[in-house]
Every structure is written in structure tokens, then in C-alpha cells.
Amino acid sequence: MQLTDLTATRLLDGYRKGEFSPVEATAEALERARRIQPEVNAFVRLTEEDALARARESEERWRRGEPAGLLDGVPVTVKDILLLRGHPTLRGSRTISEQGAWDEDAPPVARLREHGAVFLGKTTTPEYGWKGVTDSPLTGITRNPHDPARTAGGSSGGSAAAVALGAGPLSLGTDGGGSIRIPAAFCGIFGLKPTYGRVPLYPASAFGTLSHTGPMTRDAADAALLLDVIGAPDPRDWSALPPAPGSFSEALKGGVRGLRVAYSPTLGGQVAVRPGVAAAVRRAVARLADLGAYVEETDPDLSDPVEAFHTLWFSGAARLTQRFPPRLRQLLDPGLREICAQGSRYSALDYLAAVDVRMGLGRRMGRFHETYDLLVTPTLPVTAFEAGAEVPRGSGLRRWTGWTPFTYLFNLTQQPAATVPVGTDGDGLPVGLQLVAARHRDDLVLRAAHALYEAGQALSGLVRPAGS
């Protein structure tokens, strides 16, 4: 048995029974991280000394039968957008200096520290998390575990690759337009964008209330456990929600029998979905029906809000870099420079018009969920394409939003949305199914995802490096 194969829940069970220790699990995870790094480039840095020190402390607590919390001794990685005390957070950018105190944890990192988690290191991101693939001037290209010639997706691509390859079963990602769900789908793991405010964020994102933080894991049970830990209020985030009414792990037991599920394969013909993706998603939807859900093929009343999303997203990027002198601007990813220039040309009235579009979407989805508990779509219309490109070659698309129409929509509405790996296309590349619920119903998304895992419809999310 390789400890890198185990989920967080299985590791914790092994610690409890004395089958293996946090030090053993951490050492194997670090060795796996070092091994995969040359091929997939998932890490900005490993924090080996700190990780082993925390693992030894955890091992002593387990020996005494006094674990510190729900994740004591579990190896975790953190996207390099989020602060990790004692280590630089460079956000994929050459515009940030490593010098400084770095003496604060982001809220979800602080909760993980309180619960005894072991931090393996920081994972890669495109510069400031601006696009749906992971390459940056600072760290280069992050590659897909299933085919290194292809992208891992983004912007939490390093986290997705690390989890898929066994370098820690849990990772913290961020999602402003699909940045958890896109790489999770491309890499074949589970990813959840919780309801906005469920996981506090600090410092506030330049992209405002589009940006969420959430779990990236190998199954829904691990994600529920992680959300139980990180979904707690933090005084630094004034928009954080109060504590959840119950345990997300306990809510997994409900199953899908009786749930009303709307299946929208193309958002009413608005999205061209590749046949291999469509077939895998349709099979999983049929399985939901077999499990007792009431499934109806129907579409929400939505038009593509991409221009409103661009207004909000590009304006955020422009604000982020507003005070950069010319020498720093020249260090930026050229695509990021382009959207910053476009964002700087929007007026306050343009921004407020985009907010109006957003409010209209939220209202229509709120009414939609009066009839349906869940909406199911493909996570993406494509599978992973060539690494180092923002859009698939020959697609004619200009920006990453052209191939992510199923994801950014639900950042605008702030709903919980998860991707579940439900098969592969003709090239053996993972396909993701997206589950969406009304705001504050993260429990329904996790329940339905867990039901697919329990029924064997969802993939394990684990890729073993060659020779393992």
C-alpha cells in the first residue's frame, strides 16, 4: 500500500488505528512531490522542514490519543494566491518581492493550521490567477498528469496536478471564473466552488465578489471534511457567512433519491460540446436517475453573460495593476497586460451595467431553484488541450472565457458548483460533470457528488507516476 494513494479520510482512519503515522504519510507525499515536479511543475516551492516538523508534532498527539482537530497530520497543499505564514506568496508574478515578514495566514490556511494539517508547499498559478490555464512568467508551464503535453487547466492548475498525482490528498484552490473547476475537470479530480462567503477570504481579491476559495480533493467525502474545517467565519472578511447549520460530512448520507435535477447539456444550444464530453456526462446523468433522482432535460433562462463578466474581471485586473510603474508592467504576462488595458477603459457606468446583468442572472437562478434542487451541466465543453496556450489551437477564440461558458456563469451568481470526474473522452482525457445548487445549498452539491462516487460512476482521481 502506498500512502500517497489514500484519501484524507483513509489516512485519518489509519492514524487512529495506528496502521501508519503522519510522519510516514508526509515523507511519502514530499517524495512524490519532488518526483513529479520536473514533469508537471505543480509547485512553486516545497516547505519540507516545516512539514516534517508539523508531522512529528501530529504523530505525538496521535500517540497520546489527542489529535488537534479534524485534519491532524493530513498533508495539504496551498495555491500560491493564498497567504501561508512564514513563506512568500508570489501569485505567479515577478512583480512581487520575496522579501518581507510573511507573518499571516489566509483564513482557510489558519483554520487548517488550527486543525493540525501539514503544509507540504505552495502550488502554481498563472499571474494573479487571471486565466483558465496555469503558466506564468515566474514559474513557467504547469502540465497535465494524464498527458504532460497538455495543460492542467487553471488557475489552480498546480493544486489539481498535485492532488491527482498523490502529492497530498487535499489542496486549497481559488475560483473567480472556474479556477477550481477547470483544472479539477482537466486533471480528473473533484473540485468545489462553495457559496460565496462560505470560506472567508483575506486579503480581499482584486476581482471582488467573483472570487471564491474551496477544496480540491480526490472525492466528495474529502471535500466535505475540508469544508467543515475551512468554512468557518473570520473577522478579516466582512462578507463571510456565519457557521454552517450542520456538518457537510454528515450531509453526505442523504443520497439523491427524490431530488429534482435539471440536466442542461448545452445551456439551450448556446454551447458546442465535444461528443466525448457529452456522452460521458449523459451516462452520469442517467446514473443519477437510476439512483432515484427525478431528472428532466431542461435549460435555465440564461443568455451568455460573458461581456458582463469581462467588464468585472478586466476591471479588477486593471485595479490590481493600477499603480504599477512601467518597469513592473513590462514584467507582466502579455495577456494580463492586455486585459488590464481593456479594463482601464471601462467607466463606472459600464461596471454598474455589468452588476445589473449579474443581479438579473442571480434572480433568474434563484427562481429556477424553486423548481429544481440541482442543475447538471458539463463542467467544460472540451478536455485538456495543448500546454502553454490560453485557448485551444485552431479554435478561433481570443480569451479563456471562450471555452469556459459553463463555469464563470456561477461566479456571477455566487452559487455552489462542483466538478465530478465521470469518465474520459476518446483520447483518455478526463471529463467533468458540473453540479450546481442554490446559494447556501453546498450540502446538496456534495450529496449528489458523493452518490456518484458511491455508485462507482465517478473516477478515483488518482494518477500514478510512471514506475510507481
Q: Give the CA distances from residue 460 to residues 22, 221, 222, 331, in Å, rounded to whole numbers and listed in that order.
A: 22, 12, 12, 39
**Ordered alpha helix ranges (H), 231-274:** 248-251
Give me the torsion for CA of 211, 271, 369, 250, rounded to 10°: -60
CB-count burial class (<10 Å; 0-12, 13-18, 19+) for 325:
exposed
d(CA 62, CA 57): 9
Q: Which of 368, 384, 389, 379 is nearest to 441 (CA)?
A: 368
The β-bridge relationship of strands 170-175 and 212-217 is antiparallel
Q: Which of 202, 212, 207 is nearest to 339 (CA)?
A: 207
Give me the torsion for CA of 310, 432, 445, 132, rounded to 10°: -30
Give me the amino acid identity at 405: P
Task: Please provide the DSSP assignment of 304-323 as one string.
Answer: --HHHHHHHHHHHHHHHTTT
CB atoms within 10 A of CB 370: 7
d(CA 230, CA 215): 9
**DSSP designation for 450:** H
* Residue 416 and residue 441 in contact, taking contact as beta carbons nearer than 8 Å: yes
Residues serving a catalytic function are 79, 155, 179
